[in-house]
Amino acid sequence: MDLRTSDSAGLPHTLSGGSPRRRETRRCVAFDLTVPGLDSSAAREVLAYAFGARAQAYVVETSRLHDCTTLHVETDSEDINDVIGTLTAHFPHATLGRVTRVTRH
């Protein structure tokens, strides 16, 4: 197949290996959660149980002085009130930080 420079401008999706896809917009709730202890594995398990396997949690900070770990969490939930209710039910000794709605493309 002969592709000339003028032809390739019209076929960028073909050259990159497929048809163009629409980007899906995903809305979620993101928050910071500070939990007791320096090991985040138990908190991650509870987050997965409470919000499902698609919840993503990243360790943002650990404090040996205060013996706590802060996680940044993104859930698939769109309702901030539901997220806060779930957190208070599953994390009675945690501190909830900033809660925001996020739109991902």
Which of helix, strand or coil describes residue 48? helix
Q: What one-letter code names the amino acid at 81? A: N
What are 56-101's pLDDT values in tens digits? 999 999 999 999 999 999 998 889 999 999 999 999 999 999 999 9
The pLDDT of residue 8 is 47
Q: Report phi then psi at 93, rounded to 5.
A: -110, 20
pLDDT mean over 1-30: 60
DSSP state of 37: S
In angstroms, the CA 83 to CA 94 distance is 14
**27 — pLDDT class (breaks 50, 70, 90):** confident
The pLDDT of residue 95 is 95
In angstroms, the CA 95 to CA 33 distance is 6
pLDDT mean over 21-29: 76
Q: Is the pLDDT of residue 5 over 50?
A: no
The pLDDT of residue 24 is 72
Fold assignment, 23-104: Alpha-Beta Plaits (3.30.70)
The pLDDT of residue 20 is 63
